Amino acid sequence: MDLGYARVSTPRQSLDAQLDRLRAAGIEKIWTDKKSGKNTDRPGLTELLEYARGGDCIVVTKLDRLGRNLRETLNLFHELPERGVAIRTLDDPLIIDTAADDAMSRVGVAMLGLFAEMERVYMLERTERARAAARERGVAPGPKMKLGPEDIDRAVYLRDVKKLSMAEVAAKLEGSPATLYRRLPPRPTEDR
């Protein structure tokens, strides 16, 4: 039986493209995770690996969906065939199908796993360089809360008229109190 697995790195990302591709390949039973490949706590993958039996084939769109760590990927490619479970990729440049048990699939696994790990290292380096450059410019890294003039007016109204706390105002605007403290004008001074 073909068993599908799809993974994206963050909860904000969509699994739709992978799920569509797996379903187009005729896969009906699919496990998913919305966790980084570096995360070892991936309940969908754990459940799939426990479910898979001899004669089954785990199908992923790309090899790096199983993990971005070369050692983990190679361990899976040694462990699963010993249990009689094959692994197949759909969209990698080198198509992997361990059921074929050919030398090129084994070489392809090693090469694709190595490329995935290299890309992960490069991505982390690029991210850290971007963060360092932002810090040097005095910009806090990370997503910025979008506050247009209407949002600021609403926040001031909620804070000053409705007497909500900054945390409550931030929750209503789906942002952070720290951003509001930076962006809102000071409270008006009361007459004494």
Distance of CA 93 to the CA centre of its chain: 22
Please tell me which residue in 9, 36, 105, 165 is annotated as part of the active site. 9
Instruction: Work out the number of other CB atoms within 10 angstroms of the CB of residue 3.
Output: 21
Q: Is 9 a catalytic residue?
A: yes
CB 68 within 8 A of CB 115: no
User: Residue 71 — φ and ψ, nearest 5°?
Assistant: -60, -45
Pull the structure tokens for residue 30: 């699919």
Q: Compute CA 37 distance to the chain's CA centroid, rounded to the nearest angstrom.
A: 8
For residue 155, give the amino acid letter. Answer: A
Coil, helix or strand for 83? coil
* Contact status, residue 100 vs residue 53, Cβ threshold 8 Å: no
* Cα separation, 122 vs 120, whole angstroms: 5
Cα–Cα dist 27/59, whole Å = 8
Q: Would you name the residues annotated as active-site residues?
A: 9
